[in-house]
Structure 1
């Protein structure tokens, strides 16, 4: 393995900064693998790009993302731009021989997602998507509990994802309400619960969905109102394999919910319950022993739940969202090195996109859709 790896970053918003923090910290936390060399940063204006490059620690800056991709010293590209730009940028990077770390969702259209997968396959490069919730040590622990058969045969999975960043009916119209961004809650953040399902159980096999708009229009900067083109609420029935039923409820306009991904897994011998807003604990119920003393017990994240131990030596102190992104960065570097890695690559990501588009088709046809 080389001593360093040249990194390019396109986009410096919320997720761009998360990627920059991960690239800056991964060597210090994990110790192994190449040391990231922050080579080139791209934004939509050269001056802004230079300012961000100085803040994030990148050597060069540009207002043209194509110049970053053409840079021979860039070996891996982080794509953290709005959804509509993912396909063009990721495909260009792969065709230039770069590895790609692209934020979710994979693309706005299924055709673009398929083209991204084809480009990754043709390039022979590593291409993964930013599904960092699967990196949580306690999600890994849930997988181990399931694999051990501790809660018996799973018969039902229930998922809820709620946030309130679009709950105010008078919040200004912005790009997430445009059809060019996708369907709305379904692919804006519903892909995160789908990534957990894929990691823990495999792809969904059938779906039935209903999408809705709590607010028909939103105010604009010029004092007018613009029709909302996406759906902020989605309700989905699904099946996994041949025997597991499921429910997924998504809402971007849920007052009081900040980053909720509530996961309940029901089995023949017990139940697992988890909520992303309390991401350092999970609840486990086992239906054995004295009924008078049965109840959910809380499991707190600690150094026994790898790779928590790489960050903190004591239990109960807790990891955060950016730590999950840093773990994901380490898994990406393992994948690039040809080592086993816990990632959602473009092949797995295409499964998620197929599920999303099947749900949208189900809403349109008001019928079950098989994948």
Structure 2
């Protein structure tokens, strides 16, 4: 049986990440047919042709709609800016393609609902690009929580900080446009929300504040443009199971490069994790404390599957793109009808509803229940 036929829309940071995953998944896992990289789409034909050659696609096009009409394409990766996700994902599903779409679903909640609704009756897989949940360390943390290793979880704190918007002299670009979403919440904080959803379930209620450190940014024409969304968000949350939680997100945090810091507190211990040190976590268990009151550090190892498909020795470490390869393998499992560790459009919509409840809370200055 021939491998899946792949179409890719977009070749920026995440487009390249998807292409690397499609190129590597068969070599890493060895139990799937090698995908056939059919067509790459970009904003113009010249760029598409260049990127197709670099990334291993057989053909290229300057019109993404061409992918819809190609019967050789089974799956379309959507890795464009946020505002284009809904149109492209829905068109792909209507054309009978499986969809792998980068987060968030869409800036408008109504569009996210349309994306979810477009999956009905298609029999096609529609998955979101939340690769942080694929980390073997996160999978192990989930197992420990479910096994009661730290007792009943009662409080969670999660922080996501990066500094790609920290420089006030940085030119205005699409991430500061209202059309791209709320900013720190949906372009950014959906990643820690995906971890909370995976570990604990959905968000029940929120109260949020947002901040805009720079009201304007210089534009490429020499003037200035008003920043239309917020780079900072702070949220109090109540999670499923009445778990107290705090979320803090900052896209303008100098010195932070890829930080998603989780602190999970239970009745019999605690777990600490930081994405900047993604190949380890720390655990404190009261039953093992004795006179030594400290955390034990756990290093990623072959026992923490699927780490073993990459490296045969503990402590050597995976990277961001490796998580995308794992996510790609999970997507193939879902397409094959097997159990898969993914966030699909239905679950993705729950994350989107949380984000929009946070924005509403900020606008109305009150607690808001999150609709299911």
Match of 1:272 in 2: 271
Match of 2:155 in 1: 156
Match of 1:102 in 2: 101
- 1:344-370 Cα offsets, whole Å, 9 max, x none, are 000000000000000000000011011
Match of 2:327 in 1: 328
- 1:212-270 Cα offsets, whole Å, 9 max, x none, are 10000000112111100010000000011242100000000000000000001000000
Match of 2:225 in 1: 226
> How far, CA to CA, are the matches of 1:343 and 1:243 in structure 2?
24
TM-score (norm 1): 0.99
Secondary structure of residue in 2 paired with 1:122: coil
Match of 2:361 in 1: 362
Following superposition, the deviation at residue 291 of structure 1 comes to: 4.0
> How far, CA to CA, are the matches of 2:245 and 2:103 in structure 1?
23
- 1:52-86 Cα offsets, whole Å, 9 max, x none, are 00010101100000011211111100000000000
- 1:146-194 Cα offsets, whole Å, 9 max, x none, are 0110100100000000000000111111000000000001001100001
> How far, CA to CA, are the matches of 2:82 and 2:242 in structure 1?
34
Secondary structure of residue in 1 paired with 2:271: strand
Match of 1:235 in 2: 234
Match of 1:130 in 2: 129
Secondary structure of residue in 2 paired with 1:111: helix
> How far, CA to CA, are the matches of 1:189 and 1:142 in structure 2?
22
Match of 1:348 in 2: 347
Instruction: Spell out the pairing of 1:1-371 with structure 2 (5 A cutoff).
Output: 2-371=1-370
> How far, CA to CA, are the matches of 1:120 and 1:173 in structure 2?
35
Unaligned runs of 5+ in 1: none
Following superposition, the deviation at residue 290 of structure 1 comes to: 5.0
Q: Is the 8 A contact 1:236 1:248 kept in 2?
A: yes
Following superposition, the deviation at residue 44 of structure 1 comes to: 0.4
Unaligned runs of 5+ in 2: none
Runs of 4+, deviation exceeding 6 Å:
none
> How far, CA to CA, are the matches of 1:197 and 1:243 in structure 2?
13
> How far, CA to CA, are the matches of 1:199 and 1:242 in structure 2?
14
**Number of aligned residues:** 370
TM-score (norm 2): 0.98
Following superposition, the deviation at residue 287 of structure 1 comes to: 1.5
- 1:120-160 Cα offsets, whole Å, 9 max, x none, are 12322000000000000000000010011010010000000
Q: Is the 8 A contact 1:33 1:334 kept in 2?
A: no
Secondary structure of residue in 1 paired with 2:16: helix
> How far, CA to CA, are the matches of 2:129 and 2:80 in structure 1?
12
> How far, CA to CA, are the matches of 1:186 and 1:290 in structure 2?
38
Following superposition, the deviation at residue 289 of structure 1 comes to: 4.0
Following superposition, the deviation at residue 294 of structure 1 comes to: 2.2
> How far, CA to CA, are the matches of 1:236 and 1:282 in structure 2?
24
> How far, CA to CA, are the matches of 1:290 and 1:325 in structure 2?
37
Q: Is the 8 A contact 1:3 1:33 kept in 2?
A: no
Q: Is the 8 A contact 1:49 1:61 kept in 2?
A: yes
Following superposition, the deviation at residue 48 of structure 1 comes to: 0.6
> How far, CA to CA, are the matches of 2:316 and 2:32 in structure 1?
27
